[in-house]
Amino acid sequence: MRLVLLGLPGAGKGTQGERIAEKYGIPHISTGSIIRERIASGDSVGQEVDALISKGDLVPDGLVIKMVSERLSKPDCKKGWILDGFPRTVPQARALDLSLVKNGLDVQIAFDIRITQKEAIDRIAKRRMCSECGAVYHLEHYRAKGKGVCDSCGGDLYRRSDDTEETARKRLSVYMMQTHPVVHYYSLTGRLFSVDGVRAIQDVFVDIDHYLQRLVKNKSVGEAQ
Ligand code: AP5
């Protein structure tokens, strides 16, 4: 199973990606997380991209394509993967298709999780993340049981540096200019499935999962490689 999750910042790509990964036993690969790990490592690439991500700008295509291609070559990706936050530009989408086609593979489905810009700003402002395991919480919709600590691992919860309202607005505008065309890219090639993301987390998952169950049953497109 090879899936792409699209949607505005805060649409719930990470939240749904974790649930799909858990159910289907394939890795959830978030380019945002890979980039944040690189920044935390303090190496020269991390320093270079830190300034971009904090302003809400995209990291250059070449760098992200290399990061993703390294990650997809790992053994745990043999049975499939979920890409969250990639591709984010049409050149990234083309590069992914080209690299897959060489191995007789493709992206089977791109889920576009749709929310309004207002909802996106609200979710981003109230998101908290675990500093240890990366679990995602929300101050109202999906609260951690303990105060300021992760339910799964007990790590401290923090607010992402790019989750300020000003940066969130910039990220939304970058999305509309550079990532929205990727939705059309998958639509034109018959691989897009849109999901209403302004519902309870579990309801969104049920829709996605319903589609995935059909994909798994349909051997002609669903056979994991
Ligand atoms: P990235 O980390 O990918 O950020 P993003 O795309 O802006 O998406 P988010 O992580 O903000 O949101 P999400 O959709 O995952 O929502 P979540 O599940 O957390 O990228 C960060 C930066 O890295 C980019 O700005 C860019 O600079 C760089 N970058 C990354 N990939 C790149 C690429 N390919 N090319 C170039 N640059 C790249 O949910 C949000 C909140 O809402 C949470 O609090 C959650 O609990 C809550 N929530 C989720 N679902 C629901 C629901 N149904 N109802 C109520 N609340 C919900």
CA distance 5 to 3: 7
Output the pLDDT for position 219: 61
Band of pLDDT at residue 223, cut at 50, 70 and 90: very low
User: Are 110 and 191 a contacting pair, CB within 8 Å?
Assistant: yes
Query: What is the distance in A from the centroid of ligand 1 to the CA of 93?
Result: 18
Closest ligand 1 atom number to CA of residue 35: 23
Asked about 171 being catalytic, the answer comes back as: yes
Asked whether residue 220 carries a pLDDT value surpassing 80, the answer given is no
Active-site residue (options: 19, 36, 38, 88): 88
Whether the predicted model's global pTM rises above the 0.85 cut: yes
Phi, psi at residue 157, to the nearest 5°? -90, 145
User: Are 65 and 95 a contacting pair, CB within 8 Å?
Assistant: yes
Output the pLDDT for position 134: 87
What the chain holds in terms of domains, given with CATH numbers, is 2-30+77-218 (3.40.50.300)
Q: Is the peptide bond before 9 cis (omega within 30 degrees of 0)?
A: no
Return the number of other C-beta atoms located less than 10 Å from residue 223's C-beta: 12
H helix or E strand, kind and range, residue 34: helix 31-41
- Residues of the chain with pLDDT > 70, as a percent, come to 97
Q: How do residues 108-132 score in pLDDT, each as one tens digit?
A: 999 999 999 999 999 999 999 999 9
